[in-house]
Amino acid sequence: MRKPKALFAALAAVGMLLGGVVSHAQAQSYRAEYRLSTVLGTAFPWGQAGERWAELVKEKTQGRINIKLYPGTSLVGGDQTREFTAIRQGVIDLAVGSTINWSPQVKELNLFSLPFLLPDYRAIDALTHGEVGQDLFKVLEKNQVVPLAWGENGFRELSNSKRPVRTPADLKGMKLRVVGSPLYNETFSALGANPTQMSWADAQPALASGAVDGQENPLSVFVAAKLPTVGQKHLTLWHYVADPLIFVVNKDVWASWSAADREAVRQAALQAGRENVDKARKGLTAADSSLVKQIEASGVTVTVPTAAEREQFVAATRPVYAKWSKTIGEPLVKKAEAAIAAGQKK
């Protein structure tokens, strides 16, 4: 009979051998490359967020997980609204995606597109950093994706080539490019405009040719895409909706990684998300409005509606808000309204 020490040593050796075999098999199951989708490229904070996530994942996993960025939603032919379905199907492995673009498949994500729900950055943070954000992550988990972190594309502001916009009357008949969500069609129709859904790839040539008069996007997009060069000389800062981003991984891909690597990917997403939010808000706060000044210096007329003027937009879109609250789920909307109200008191 073997002595206990010898037996323990033998068992330890077998354990190390088996551990090495498992580790090797697991490493062999990893792909050489994983596909990460974003709508915008690295000229924009959104694309930079995807790039940064990939860098951090490679660093934190010591190169075991390598990610390639596919901007322009190129993995789905540029169709932004097909991105979420492609993640579920495994065509896309990871994504930094917009709540707007994914809302046709996940109705609860329309929350952030309720017109004039979110007055400021504190309101966005109250949702993404609180119970509402956790509830939305649970909804995504039921849809075969693993949500890891929040990022930000920003508040969507209005630009056009025709005239300053202060009230709904100024929008009457104006042709505006909007994203592919029926909520946006209904919002702008309620304001008297003529909304036209098209991808971002199609939007810039449409603006340049005059096929559409204007668009709505965060100011980081307005600047990086050089929209003043395609006639967008009037800008209205009205904070009518926000566009948070979500870092996600396909459920099967997530399950194929070791627990340690999954945690590394999560931490990388959280870090990239924090950095992305800082970039998205840079130059757009009360303490630092440098980006707005930069836009004005390029010859753009910047209009900020008064509280009374903004209320006209709110009143005109209230029926849309009420209708879509039912679609999203009234308990979730009420929880969001309460969280925002509490956040404003801090």
* Distance in angstroms (rounded) separating the CA atoms of residues 180 and 188: 13
How does pLDDT run across 156-204, given as a tens digit for each residue?
A: 999 999 999 999 999 999 999 998 789 999 999 999 999 999 888 899 8
Give the residue among 298, 294, 276 at the shortest CA–CA distance from 284: 294
Cβ neighbours around 306 below 10 Å, total: 10
Range 241-260 average pLDDT: 97
pLDDT at 5: 54
Cβ neighbours around 43 below 10 Å, total: 15
pLDDT at 150: 98
Angle at 239 between CA 80 and CA 246, to 5 degrees: 40
Instruction: Give the burial class of 136: count Cβ atoms within 10 A of its Cβ; 0-12 exposed, 13-18 middle, 19 or more buried.
Output: buried
Q: Where are the domains of the chain?
A: 31-344
CATH topology of domain 31-344: D-Maltodextrin-Binding Protein; domain 2 (3.40.190)
Average pLDDT of the residues of the chain = 92
Residue 300 has pLDDT above 70, yes or no: yes
CA distances from 151 to 32, 53, 64, 345 (A): 27, 11, 25, 24
Residue 279 has pLDDT above 80, yes or no: yes
* Distance in angstroms (rounded) separating the CA atoms of residues 127 and 297: 34
Range 55-78 average pLDDT: 97
pLDDT at 327: 97
Range 75-98 average pLDDT: 95
The two beta strands, 234-250 and 94-98, are antiparallel
CA distances from 112 to 8, 133, 154, 324 (A): 59, 11, 11, 11
**pLDDT-wise least confident of 160-164, 176-180, 254-258, 276-280:** 176-180
Looking at the chain, the whole-number percentage of residues with pLDDT higher than 70 is: 92
Angle at 40 between CA 37 and CA 45, to 5 degrees: 105
* Distance in angstroms (rounded) separating the CA atoms of residues 191 and 305: 15
pLDDT at 207: 96
